[in-house]
Structures are given as C-alpha cells and as structure tokens.
C-alpha cells in the first residue's frame, strides 16, 4: 500500500495475535515476499477508482495468495471491484487488527495452513482409496472407513469438514448412518455427500429430504467429485469456526469447549485412559482494565490465549470459558501431572511483561484442576475445577490447586 498509509497499520497488535506482518510499499518488495514462499496472505489498500495501480497489481497476486483489500469505500461498486480483482475479502480502512485476524483465521489462508479434511465411508476399500487419491491431489486430507460402525470414532478423531458416503453398505445403509451422525448435536450441520449407483429419482429425493448435501451418481469423474466436495467443505469449515470459536482469542467458545470435553471424556473412558480438566482465571484483572483501559485488557487476554496455544500439546483442548476465565482439557493426564503442568504454565506466564498506558506490568493467573479420578461427568469435572480455582483465589492467587489433593 502507499507509503503514507503504512504508519496507520496495527502491526504491533497483529504480532500480538501471532502473525508476522511485513509492511511493503513497492510492487518489487511484494514480488520478493511472494517469491520467498512464506507469505500466507496479502493486504492491499485500494481506492477502487479507474486508475488504481494497487488493485491492478493485486489481481495478479490474488492468483498466488489470498488478497484482502482494505478500503474506505463500502459501496456495492467497490465490493464488486474487489470480487472481480479476485479479492478474498473487503475490510474497512483504517484497518482494525481484530477484523483482519478474523478474516485470516476463518478465510482461505486458514485452509492453506490446515487442509480441508474429508472422511470417506465406502465398503469397497479400493474405490475409497481411488476417491482419496483424487482429493489428496487437490490438497485435501482424507481418511477412509470401510465399516459403518467405525464412523463415529473416526469423526471424533479426524474432525472432518465433509463426509463422502456410499449409500449401500452391508449391515447399515447410508441413510441410517446419516441419521446416526445427525442425531449428535455438534454434527447436525456437517455436510454429507452420498455416492451411489442409485438412479431412481424418488429415492434420491427422499435422501435429499433427510438434509444431506447432495447425491453423486457412480461412476463419478474427478472434476465432479472435487467441485462437489471442496466448496461445501470450505463453507462448513468457515461456518463451524465462526460458531465454535471466540472472536477475540480464537479459542473454543463456552458451548463448543463443553461439547468437545464430552467427546474427550467418552474417548478416555473407552480407552481406559486418565483425563484432567483445568479452569484458569486472570488475577486482579479488573485493575488492569481500570488502570490501562479495556484495549490493554483485551491484549492481555489475547496474549494468554496465544501463550496457551503455543504450549498446547497434541490432543489438548483450550477454551475461553467466560470473560477472563479459560479452560483446558488434558487427555492422558492424571490430576498430579495436570497440576504440575499448570504450575509450570503459571510460572512461565507470570514472567511475561505486558505493555500498558501506565507502563509495563506483569500478570498472573490462578487455576483449579480436577480429573476422572474424582469426577464422573463433564459437569462434575468443570464444577470441581471451578471450586478449586476459587479456593486458589481465596488463598492468595497465583497458584494451582487440585481437587483430590485439596480434599484428601
Ligand atoms: N478487557 C476485557 N475485560 C474483560 C473481558 N471480559 C471480562 N473482563 C473484565 O474482567 C474483570 C473481572 O473482574 P473480577 O471478576 O472482579 O475479577 P478480578 O479483578 O480478576 O479479581 P480476581 O479474579 O478475584 O483475582 C472485569 O473487570 C471484567 O470487565 C474482556 O473481554 N475484555
């Protein structure tokens, strides 16, 4: 974008969200950044007037990375010009960091970082792997399941963005399996595409009436498969992330955290493995808002979210449970292991410095921990961890307490 506008970019705030923004004001620098291969997205200022060199240049860049246009214009003509230039989105000028972060974490660049996932349910393994090969060639990740009864576990483990399903399988047909999937609240909206030799219009219409996304008649050619799968999977991924995550921190929101906790709990029981839950709350956070203002308070919340994400281990869940309250699920950890880990996190976070209007400051959190040793349900896990969190607050803050050791 033009050099005189670069100073108005919220680069420091973007860095706070975990991005590495680079400000450039010449097409040559942009070309160099794109050639380097590390650039995930481009943000280009545009006035959307007839002679707008940035829009014209951006049209060529948009073929290589998602380009987000920023403009003071919000009218229809500007929106249309953005679409015609291949823009991934139109953001308001002056650019607000959280709007860009929202676009990047839900948009096309997010799918580039984390490929779309397709679960293929087909009793003929060779055919399933043929479909998988086609989708993999287009950059998608696939998993094949040949037995209907294995589908619920595969969904839990793989978290697909779309299910491609054979209609006729031994033991359980596709319609029944679709109903089993849809009856789970969190999976009600997942796109299901049927693959079948079925040509009877009545049967196809009955299938669509069930709320499945579509019907592909075998044999399906590669283009038809890919064009039916990618847009639907991408749309579901985007909608799900809008619904499941908190817009400030990008962590799971309250209800989705709780839903995923139930899934992890069931898995831990099935596999006979331990599981712990922790609730975290920033200490004296009201004073941060009062002293430095709400924007600095928001930056501390974002920093804690980013800190937790950076320290996240495979399989762990992190959610924003309430305003300044966060929640963690640690599959495979018993209470003692979880307390030790939370205490290490507490210690490391307390060493960070935050920048405020009234100078730099440190921030601590307290945490309560519970585990399957003492709690039998998701509700009980959260209740016990919460009770320990408030005991930690009452007894001095900046500490971690576990239910079983505190109540022994
Ligand atoms: N900046 C900002 N503040 C928030 C947000 N959500 C909640 N808060 C603030 O968090 C503060 C919580 O204050 P209290 O519940 O009194 O707790 P505290 O000051 O952290 O004290 P203890 O928890 O007892 O250590 C309130 O001032 C809320 O306004 C948010 O999204 N952004």
Tell me, in angstroms, the distance from the centre of ligand 1 to residue 280's CA: 12
- Return the domain boundaries, the chain: 3-109, 115-244, 254-406
From residue 291, give the alpha-carbon distance in Å to each of 73, 298, 356: 36, 13, 8
Considering only CA atoms, which of 190, 200, 187, 193 is closest in space to residue 226?
A: 193
In this structure, which residue's CA is closest to atom 28 in ligand 1?
A: 286
Burial class of residue 363 (count of CB atoms within 10 Å of its CB; 0-12, 13-18, 19+): buried
In this structure, which residue's CA is closest to atom 15 in ligand 1?
A: 286
Per-residue pLDDT of the chain (408 residues; tens, 9 = 90+): 777 777 777 777 676 566 788 888 887 888 888 887 778 888 888 888 777 777 777 788 888 888 999 999 989 998 998 998 899 899 998 887 777 877 777 666 556 667 899 999 998 889 899 999 999 999 999 999 999 999 988 998 888 999 999 988 888 888 888 888 888 777 778 999 998 887 788 888 878 887 788 888 888 889 999 999 999 999 998 888 888 889 888 899 998 899 889 989 988 998 999 999 999 999 999 999 999 998 889 989 988 998 898 888 888 999 999 999 999 999 999 999 999 999 999 999 998 888 887 788 999 999 999 999 999 999 999 999 999 999 999 999 999 999 998 887
Residues with CB under 6 A from ligand 1: 248, 281-286, 289, 294, 297-298, 301, 323-324, 393, 397
Would you state the CATH architecture of domain 254-406? 2-Layer Sandwich (3.30)
Of the candidate CATH numbers 3.40.50.2300, 3.40.109.10, 1.10.10.10, 3.30.1490.100, the domain formed by 115-244 belongs to: 3.40.50.2300
Choosing from 254, 289, 300 the residue with most ligand 1 atoms within 8 A of its CB, the one to mutate for a pocket test is 289
CA gap 81, 64 in Å, rounded: 18
Residue recorded with tokens 């200490």: 283
Sequence-separated (6 or more) residues with CB below 8 Å from residue 232: 162, 191, 193, 213, 214
Structure token digits, residue 181:
């999937």
Assigned CATH topology for domain 3-109: Rossmann fold (3.40.50)
CA gap 353, 307 in Å, rounded: 12
């Amino acid at each position: 974008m033009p050099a005189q506008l670069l100073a108005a970019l919220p680069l420091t705030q973007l860095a706070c969200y975990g991005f590495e923004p680079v400000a450039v004001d010449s097409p040559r620098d942009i070309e160099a950044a794109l050639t380097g291969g590390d650039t995930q997205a481009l943000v280009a200022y545009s006035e959307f007037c007839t002679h707008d060199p940035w829009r014209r240049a951006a049209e060529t860049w948009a073929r290589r990375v998602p380009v987000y246009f920023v403009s003071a214009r919000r009218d229809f003509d500007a929106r249309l010009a953005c679409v015609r230039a291949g823009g991934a989105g139109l953001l308001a000028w002056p650019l607000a960091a959280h709007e860009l972060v929202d676009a990047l974490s839900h948009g096309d660049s997010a799918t580039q970082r984390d490929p779309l996932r397709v679960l293929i349910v087909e009793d003929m393994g060779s055919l399933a792997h043929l479909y998988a090969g086609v989708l993999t060639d287009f950059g998608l990740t696939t998993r094949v399941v040949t037995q209907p009864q294995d589908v619920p576990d595969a969904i839990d483990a793989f978290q697909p963005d779309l299910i491609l399903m054979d209609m006729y399988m031994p033991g359980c047909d596709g319609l029944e399996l679709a109903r089993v999937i849809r009856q789970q609240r969190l999976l009600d909206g997942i796109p299901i595409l049927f693959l079948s030799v079925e040509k009877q219009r009545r049967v196809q219409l009955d299938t669509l009436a069930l709320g499945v996304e579509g019907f592909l008649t075998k044999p399906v050619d590669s283009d038809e498969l890919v064009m039916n799968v990618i847009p639907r999977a991408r749309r579901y991924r985007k909608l799900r992330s809008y619904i499941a995550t908190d817009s400030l921190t990008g962590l799971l929101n309250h209800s989705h955290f709780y839903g995923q906790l139930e899934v992890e709990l069931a898995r831990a029981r099935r596999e006979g493995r331990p599981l712990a839950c922790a609730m975290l709350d920033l200490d004296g956070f009201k004073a941060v808002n009062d002293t430095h203002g709400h924007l600095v308070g928001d930056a501390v919340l974002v920093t804690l979210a980013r800190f937790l994400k950076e320290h996240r281990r495979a399989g762990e869940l992190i959610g924003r449970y309430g305003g300044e309250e966060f929640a963690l699920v640690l599959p495979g950890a018993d209470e003692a292991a979880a307390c030790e880990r939370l205490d290490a996190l507490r210690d490391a976070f307390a060493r960070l410095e935050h920048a405020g209007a009234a100078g730099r400051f440190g921030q601590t959190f307290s945490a309560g921990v519970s585990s399957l040793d003492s709690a039998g349900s998701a509700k009980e896990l959260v209740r016990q961890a919460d009770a320990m969190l408030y005991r930690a607050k009452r007894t001095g803050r900046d500490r971690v307490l576990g239910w079983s050791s505190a109540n022994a």
